[in-house]
Amino acid sequence: MFENEEEKLAELRRQLEHISIPTEQLDGAIGQGYERAKLEKVKKKKRKIRNYGMLAATALLMITLATFIRVSPTFANAVSSIPGLEKIVAMIHYDKGLTSAIKNDYYQEINASQTKEDLTLTIDGVILDESGMNVFYTVNSEEAIQNVRVGNVELRNDEIISPSSSFSISANDQAVKELSNTIDFHFQKPTKFNDLSFSLVMTIENEGKEIEYIIPFTVPENVKPSINFVLKKEVEIENQKFTIEEVTINPRRVDVRISINPNNSKKILQFPDLRLEDENGEIWGSRSGISGSEVGELEQIIYVQSNYFEKPKELYLRINKLQALNKDEAIVVVDTEKNILLNSPRDGRLQLGESSKTHADFFLTQAKDVNNNFSLTSIIQDANGKSISSPSTSMFYDSGKLESHWTLDFDTTDYKNPLELELLAYPNYIEGDIKVELKKPNK
């Protein structure tokens, strides 16, 4: 059983190797699966791993630990009943903003196809705004296909665009004749195209043969304008200050730009419950896929589900807790040759497993926090300040021990110990009650 699982995960890794996003982060996500398979065989214990696809996507720019605010069953059922769009809604039912976009006719049908060999790739439709594009596609075959891999995904336009992209990983381990999925293209800056003619480039590998598709398509209507609130409102939780600079509401998502006060005693790692809330308590929370980006060391953009098509009388930005650590605890220091953990959060939950010049294993006691799937670090430096990459980072959750485990493989052994690892996330929280009203959008 585990050999089969390894093979499936190996194929997923190969599928992701050609996607135009940071390879080391994708490898890390898929590596979780490898680690799980290996440890399953060795220890023969029941293990649980969560959301490969979601992790692969969220690792793209930044990990959040937020709980999803899912669409209510009533709303989802109403939207999913839209004739012809049931398949599309099923793929995005977890995102309240995207389902609302479909409900409000913002989904644009494309139906552009290309057939090569025995496979037909069809772009079913798109949702486009200034922040990016969701491309919904289907692969059809006259013969049953299995373990099809998609890669080299690229969106082209005559204008210069530099999107990142992600798509959920849904390996078809059963033979089927039709596969559907979506690609979430994230534009690195707000973009409104003068020419709505695009091309989708992607490869599909089936039975060892890689087929490239280049499908031109035109989006019928241009994007709706975003709604922007410039706030520049400084707030604080337990004396840790940050400024909510602006909130931009697009049809696909909401961007919340935040700058961190450099004089804080703690390092703010994550905003796990940032959300929009109307006068009735209706909430638009974290979105899956790409969940945020770091503009700089002290500035972040957090993405949440969009309420663009709703018309609340009152709208608030709410934050009740932050992930934060004392600054001297936010850097993990490890001597990989001596296998010694020299610095870590003082709660003692993060421990060093085995380490060597090539890799280091860490584990975290989760206590009551059993849903902390996150990348441990994205910045590693040696004793001389040399940057060290971790092209293969894996993580899994051991449900039996209530522990999260990470294995970081380093790209070189040519470094001087100790290594410093800047924590990207950590389940240590401070709590407050921030409520900022959004009431005067920019004209």
> What is the tens place of the pLDDT at every residue in 396-439?
877 778 888 999 999 999 999 999 999 988 999 999 999 999 98
* pLDDT at 160 (0 to 100): 73
- What integer pLDDT is reported at residue 167 of this predicted model? 63
The answer to whether residues 304 and 274 touch, using CB atoms and an 8 Å cutoff, is yes
Closest CA to 138 of 26, 41, 253, 215: 215
Phi, psi (deg, nearest 5) at residue 94 = -80, -10
Tell me what pLDDT residue 372 has: 63
Cβ-Cβ contacts under 8 Å for 437 (sequence gap 6 or more): 314, 315, 316
Rg, the chain, Cα only: 22
Q: What is the pTM of this model?
A: 0.76
pLDDT for the residue 151: 83
Beta bridge partners of 380: 421
Token output for 55: 């992790």
What are the tokens at 284?
A: 């638009």
Identify the pLDDT of residue 136.
Answer: 93
Distances (CA, A) of 186 to 25, 54, 183: 16, 15, 10
Give the C-alpha distances (Å, rounded to integers) separating 128 from 99, 237, 307, 407.
Answer: 13, 36, 16, 38
What was the pLDDT predicted at 207?
81
Flag residues of the chain having pLDDT under 70. 1-84, 162-163, 165-173, 289-290, 367-373, 443
| Whole-number pLDDT of residue 212 | 96
